Amino acid sequence: MTIKITFFIFLFFPLLLVAQTDTKQDKTLDLKPNSANDKKWYESISIRGYTQIRYNRILETNPRLNCEQCDRSWGDNGGFFIRRLRFIFFGQINKRVYFYIQPDFASSPSSDRLHFGQIRDAYFDLGLDDKNEFRFRIGQSKVPFGFENMQSSQNRLALDRNDALNSAVSNERDLGIFFYWAPQKVRELFADLVKSGLKGSGDYGVFALGAFNGQTANNPELNNNQHFVTRFSYPFKIKNQIIEAGIQGYTGKFVLTKANLSTGVKAATDLNYLDERLAASFILYPKPFGIQAEYNIGQGPQFNKITDSIELKDLKGGYILFNYQLNFKKHLIIPFTRYQYYQGGKKHEKDARSYEVDEYELGIEWQPSKQFELVCMYTISERRFEDFAKQNNFQAGKLLRIQAQINF
* pLDDT (0 to 100) of residue 400: 97
293: Cβ–Cβ under 8 A, 6 or more apart, which residues? 281, 282, 283, 318, 319, 320, 321
Cα 58 versus chain centre, distance: 28
Q: Is the pLDDT of residue 111 over 90?
A: no
pLDDT at position 11, please? 58
Residue type, 176: G
- DSSP secondary structure letters along 10-55: HHHHHHHHHHHHHHHHHHHHHTSPPPTTPPPGGGGEEEEEEEEEEE
Q: What is the pLDDT of residue 35?
A: 46
pLDDT of residue 28: 38
pLDDT digits (tens, 9 = 90+) for 5-43: 445 545 555 554 444 444 444 443 343 444 445 678 778
Secondary structure (3-state) at 226: coil
- For 65-89, the pLDDT digits (tens) are 999 888 888 889 889 999 999 999 9
**Whole-Å CA distances, 195 to 216, 237, 285, 378:** 29, 17, 13, 28
Residues 6+ apart with CB under 8 A from 140: 119, 120, 121, 122, 123, 173, 174, 175, 217, 218
Look at residue 1 in the predicted model and tell me its pLDDT: 52
The whole-angstrom distance between residue 400's C-alpha and the CA centroid of its chain comes to 24
pLDDT digits (tens, 9 = 90+) for 199-240: 999 999 999 999 999 999 999 999 999 999 999 999 999 999
Percent of the chain predicted with pLDDT > 90: 82
336 has a pLDDT exceeding 50: yes
135, 126 contact by CB (below 8 A): yes
Q: How many CA atoms lie within 13 A of 24 on its CB side?
A: 6
Mean pLDDT of 86-102: 96
**In whole angstroms, what is the distance from residue 235 CA to residue 71 CA?**
31
**Segment 241-259 mean pLDDT:** 97
CA distance 164 to 300: 12
Identify the residue with better confidence: 359 or 110.
359
Q: Where are the alpha helices (DSSP H) in 223-359?
A: none
- Domains with residue ranges and CATH for the chain: 44-407 (2.40.160.10)
What pLDDT, on the 0 to 100 scale, is given for residue 23? 44
pLDDT value for 42: 79
How far lies 330's CA from each of 190, 325, 327, 365, 367, in Å?
A: 24, 12, 6, 14, 9
- Environment class of 201 (CB within 10 Å of its CB; exposed 0-12, middle 13-18, buried 19+): buried
Average pLDDT of every residue of the chain: 91
pLDDT value of position 116: 86
Task: Give the pLDDT of residue 114.
Answer: 76
Mean pLDDT of 373-389: 97
- The Cα–Cα gap between 59 and 380 comes to 11
Please give the average per-residue pLDDT across 43-53, as a whole number.
94
User: Is the CB of residue 384 less than 8 Å from the CB of residue 40?
Assistant: no
CA distance 247 to 230: 9
